[in-house]
Structure 1
Amino acid sequence: MFTTCIHSSDSKIHCNEKDKQILLNFKNGAIDPSGLLSTWFSQQDCCHWYGVVCHNFTSRVTQLNLPCSFINGYGYNNFIDKSHCLSGDIPISLLQMEFLEHLDLSNHDFLAMTYNSMNNLSLGNLPYQCGNSSSLHYLDLLGNLNLLIHNLEWLSSASSLKYIDLSGIDLRTETNWVQLMAMLPSLSELYLVDCHLDNMSPSLHFANFTALEVLDLSVNAIYSEVPNWLFNLTCDISYIYLDNNLLRGELPKAMPNFQVLKYLVLSNNDLNGPIPDCLGKLEHLTYLDLSSNLFSGPLPINLGNLSSLVALKARSNYFTGVVSEKHFTNLSNLKFLFVESPNIIFDFDLHWIPPFQLDGVFLGPVGPKPPQWLYTQTSLKSLGFANSKFSFETGDKFGVLYPKLNFSNWWATQ
């Protein structure tokens, strides 16, 4: 158990002097307009400083929790006021603290990571051997949009890292990031959202991730085929986010190592070809988003076997063929169904009663009347139809659903 140390008056255990000097060095290189580090002065035990957590018995610093709270906005890349956040430099010595396990400097406005004993050379010019952070498990630098990081070789010495979030930091000059991250044997969560990555090493066949469970590479400029190494992972990955990139090509016909996969988000790319039948064999899949791609061919019927599926999103593609109740046979947990393509034909049995109750649905094109099974859905909060030509007549039983729907979320384009 790790908590902020509180010592009795006769305690002989105090903050480690080396830890204190590293923290003071960090303070001296930081611009602190709101006084976030105002409790940090040398006369006081550093275990009592704001954001510092020490071990109960050794008093060695184990955590530094200093995220910047938002005043306005809802995300790191929205327009927000950071005038109260820390700026300046992050000394690499912070990552060298012998017992530091958790470092959170998210959403500040730091400009560079420096190594002071080497005349403040930029981190990008340092040999990776300079770092020694074997205890570090958690690293969160999310949202430091102006932070200059030329390369990630310094992470190679942080072999205990389990969680990394560098989202919002420009990493376009780092072309070897896949191999570097794969060298971390304990890494289980990796977030590189909006990092201007433009390469996923598509020709690399294997990346030796051994513990990876979450991979989020959304909102980058990745212009390549879907990489071989991603579908050859031998670890039990559960969450993959590749949305809002420029990925192209077809999905592989087999995904033998994705048996525990829960989330697969591929929306807003240029992926094409048919949806492989192997997706219908991922029995733990709960969220599947294929929207806004160039997928074609029929929607696989065996998607109806995914009994854990909560959301099926397949809007804005070029699917063909018939979609019927056979596609949804065992989807008893389904809450969101978005299937729309200009050449798709919806043909449901008039007497079919779905095994699910939806919160949201978007279909198209349908007509001349809404599918009869929609009348069984009593939990709808949003309803939409694309390229559909029909109208509701006075007294139509579909009007029973009107009180349950938010009209701002209802539409039928013609």
Structure 2
Amino acid sequence: MKPKMNPTHASTATATAFFFLIAVLTLLHHEANAATCHPEEEAGLLGFKSGIKSDPSGMLKNWIAGTDCCKWAGVECHYNSTRVERLYLTGQPDENPKSILSGTISPTLSKLKLLDGLYLIDLQNISGPFPTFVFQLPNIQYIYIENNKLSGRIPENIGTLTRLGALSLAGNRFTGTVPGSIAKLTELTQLKLGNNLLTGTLPKGVGNLVNLTYLGLEGNKFRGTIPDFFSSFTNLRILNLTGNRFSGNIPSSISTLAPKLGYLELGHNSLSGKIPDFLGKFRALDTLDLSWNRFRGTVPGSFRNLTKIFNLNLSNNLLVDPFPEMNVKGIESLDLSNNSFHLGTIPKWVASSPIIFSLKLAGCGINMRLEDFKPSETYFYDFIDLSGNNITGSAIGLVNSTEYLVGFWSAGNKLKFDLGGLRFGQRFKYLDLSRNSVFGKVPDSVVGLQELNLSYNHLCGKLPKNKFPASAFVGNDCLCGAPLQPCK
């Protein structure tokens, strides 16, 4: 017969086994945690955090020593590994204005030896020079440091980063010229240097970057002619050179981009000559911006072939009649303002578009009643600018049929209607009806607008309390009250 165990001894044995198991599990847990972050890489990341002086949204709040750095915000590790592969920190200026970081990029990130991607986007207040520690990262392939405040020059030896597939320094304060060694970055598919303070001419070596799908150099101070090196760019889909000081003609080699190019943006430069006929062959073109240049002559008839174009901006050039009848299936944004066109009426292909949101035809020789413009869809309109034409009638029907309208400009026409009949949606901010024949009282609803010009009409009565200058109301029949003279 087995001897019976004392109940007290049994309880003690069970408790001992239980606590032993807990101790083992706790030890294993600590060892597992210790194994989830490489010590050098943890030190590198915490060094980066120490360089951040302000983090109002708590973006880095879970970057705590001794915890699993693979779970820290913005840190991505290699699959089934404890080694850091990517650092991805991005702000959200529209949704969360506090999602910014102020400080510098610590060189301790050079400890992340397996890092292949550095993404510091929309953090706004990251300052300092180009982070030269990236030259010590043998695996680095993607650098996106966008919309911050980095400054100084792009390093002359940038060409040694031959594994780079993407380089974006857009939206910073870099100065100087683009280094010639950039020609060695032949693996690049994206080169984005837009919205900096870069100067000089474009190095011809950029033509060596034959794998580019995106070339963005907008918003700098580049000068000279646009290099004629595009014939090797067989995969380019986006070309943005807007807002520089380029002069001369559109180079002929751009014609070779026709099969795939979706965005061609050359606005706000000093380009001249005629708009080349070959642009009509760009069947994949979504956006064409040639605005604010010195293009002369007529718009090529070949533009009828641009059936897929959604955004067309030819404004502020020296273009003349006739304007070709387009065969677009639906245009989203059209701006032909301030050329020497005499369109007569708003084109039918514009009125029939089911998706248009921006229509700007200022100074386009339009001579019609506004009620005769009967667009198939007005719901999505954001912006309508018909200033400087010879348009008669009332704006009430058009403006009141839009849900999302932000701005309506129709200065210098012959519109005649009671201002009190206009209804402004919640998004409405800008109204310019100056130099027309609008009558009636100024309604209280204008007070919530951001910009207003009702000068030189036939308005009368006491003004509602408002924040606008006197220039918004001068030249009317009998308006009174601040900011004009007191009512009698």
Which category of TM-score, normalised to the shorter sequence, fits these structures? 0.7 to 0.9
- Alignment partner, residue 333 of structure 1: 330
Counterpart CA distance in 2 for 1:248 and 1:143 is 27
Residue 308 of structure 2 aligns to a residue whose secondary structure is: coil
Structure 1 contact 151–171 (Cα < 8 Å) conserved: yes
Counterpart CA distance in 1 for 2:141 and 2:331 is 36
- Alignment partner, residue 118 of structure 2: 103
Q: Deviations over 1:228-259 (max 9, x none)?
A: 23x33423111112212222111134533212
Structure 1 contact 243–268 (Cα < 8 Å) conserved: yes
C-alpha change, 1:180 and 1:15, in structure 2 (3 Å) is: same
Shift of 1:387: 2.6
What are the equivalent positions in structure 2 for 1:56-205 lying under 5 Å apart? 56-70=79-93, 85-91=101-107, 94=109, 97-106=112-121, 107-112=123-128, 123=132, 131-145=135-149, 147-153=150-156, 155-173=158-176, 175-177=177-179, 179-201=180-202, 204=204
- Alignment partner, residue 3 of structure 1: none
Moved more, 50-59 or 155-164: 155-164
Q: Aligned letter for 1:258? A: L
Structure 1 contact 132–158 (Cα < 8 Å) conserved: no
Q: Which has the higher helix share?
A: 2
Structure 2 contact 371–393 (Cα < 8 Å) conserved: no
Shift of 1:261: 0.6
Structure 1 contact 243–265 (Cα < 8 Å) conserved: yes
Residue 255 of structure 1 aligns to a residue whose secondary structure is: helix
- Alignment partner, residue 241 of structure 2: 242
Counterpart CA distance in 1 for 2:319 and 2:110 is 50
- The correspondence for 1:26, drawn from 23, 33, 48, is 48
C-alpha change, 1:321 and 1:99, in structure 2 (3 Å) is: same
Q: Aligned letter for 1:232? A: S
Q: Deviations over 1:347-377 (max 9, x none)?
A: 6799989763443322233243259984354
What are the equivalent positions in structure 2 for 1:200-211 lying under 5 Å apart? 200-201=201-202, 204=204, 207-211=207-211
What are the equivalent positions in structure 2 for 1:37-52 lying under 5 Å apart? 37-52=60-75
C-alpha change, 1:222 and 1:250, in structure 2 (3 Å) is: same
C-alpha change, 1:369 and 1:17, in structure 2 (3 Å) is: same
Residue 128 of structure 2 aligns to a residue whose secondary structure is: strand
What are the equivalent positions in structure 2 for 1:340-351 lying under 5 Å apart? 340-346=337-343
Given the alignment of the two structures, is residue 315 of structure 1 paired with residue 310 of structure 2, yes or no? no
Residue 389 of structure 1 aligns to a residue whose secondary structure is: coil
Unaligned 5+ segments in structure 2 are 1-27, 414-488
Shift of 1:300: 0.8
Counterpart CA distance in 2 for 1:408 and 1:165 is 34
Residue 198 of structure 1 aligns to a residue whose secondary structure is: strand
Structure whose alpha-carbon radius of gyration is higher: 2
Structure 2 contact 228–253 (Cα < 8 Å) conserved: no
- Alignment partner, residue 226 of structure 1: 226
Unaligned 5+ segments in structure 1 are 1-7, 116-122
Residue 20 of structure 1 aligns to a residue whose secondary structure is: helix
Q: Aligned letter for 1:135? A: N
- Alignment partner, residue 383 of structure 1: 384
Moved more, 251-260 or 341-350: 341-350
Counterpart CA distance in 2 for 1:52 and 1:169 is 23
Larger RCO, structures 1/2 (Cα 8 Å, 6+ apart): 1
Given the alignment of the two structures, is residue 284 of structure 1 paired with residue 284 of structure 2, yes or no? yes
Moved more, 35-44 or 180-189: 35-44
Q: Aligned letter for 2:53? A: I
Q: Aligned letter for 2:40? A: K
Moved more, 93-102 or 52-61: 93-102
Q: Deviations over 1:172-206 (max 9, x none)?
A: 23x243x444422332222212211112326x276
C-alpha change, 1:253 and 1:29, in structure 2 (3 Å) is: closer
Residue 279 of structure 1 aligns to a residue whose secondary structure is: helix
Shift of 1:221: 1.4
Counterpart CA distance in 2 for 1:255 and 1:157 is 29
Residue 153 of structure 2 aligns to a residue whose secondary structure is: coil
Structure 1 contact 209–235 (Cα < 8 Å) conserved: no
C-alpha change, 1:321 and 1:22, in structure 2 (3 Å) is: same
Structure 2 contact 211–235 (Cα < 8 Å) conserved: yes
Structure 2 contact 344–366 (Cα < 8 Å) conserved: no
Structure 1 contact 351–373 (Cα < 8 Å) conserved: no
